[in-house]
Amino acid sequence: MDPWITAGADQISARTERELEALVAVSSPSSDVRGAEEAIAVVRAFLPEEAQSERIPCSTPAFAPDLLATVTGEGKGKLLLLGHIDTVVAHGGHRPMTFDGPRLGGSGTVDMKGGDVLALGVLRVLAQEPQLFHTAALLLVCDEEWRSEPFAHVERFADYDACLCFEAGERGSDGEEGVVVHRKAAGTVRVKATGVSAHSGSAPDRGANALLALARVAVGVAAHHRPDGDQRLTVVPTVMRSGGAVNVVPAEGELMCDLRADSLEAFDPVLADIPTEIDGVTLQAELMRRWPGMDTREATAPVLAAASQRLGRTIIGVGRGGASDASHLATAVGLTVDGLGPRGGGAHTPGEFVLRSSLRERAEVALAIVAEILAQGSSRG
Q: In this predicted model, what pLDDT tens digit does every residue of 347-371 receive, in sequence order?
A: 999 999 999 999 999 999 999 999 9
Q: Please write the tens of the pLDDT for every residue from 93-119.
A: 999 999 999 999 999 999 999 999 999
CATH architecture for residues 3-184+293-380: 3-Layer(aba) Sandwich (3.40)
3-184+293-380 and 189-291 have identical folds: no
Question: Which of these, 292, 291, 287, lies nearest to 189 by C-alpha position?
Answer: 287
Does this model's pTM top 0.75? My answer is yes
CATH class given for the domain over 189-291: alpha beta
Strand partners, 141: 84
pLDDT tens-digit map of 256-270: 999 999 999 999 999
SS3 235: strand
State phi, psi for 90 to the nearest 5 degrees: -70, 160
d(CA 307, CA 300) in angstroms, rounded, equals 10
Strands lying side by side in the sheet with 281-291? 234-242, 252-261, 185-194, 281-291, 277-278
- Segment 153-207, tens digit of pLDDT: 999 999 999 999 999 999 999 999 999 999 999 999 999 999 999 999 999 999 9
What are the domain boundaries of the chain? 3-184+293-380, 189-291
The pLDDT of residue 379 is 52
Q: In this model, does residue 131 exceed pLDDT 60?
A: yes
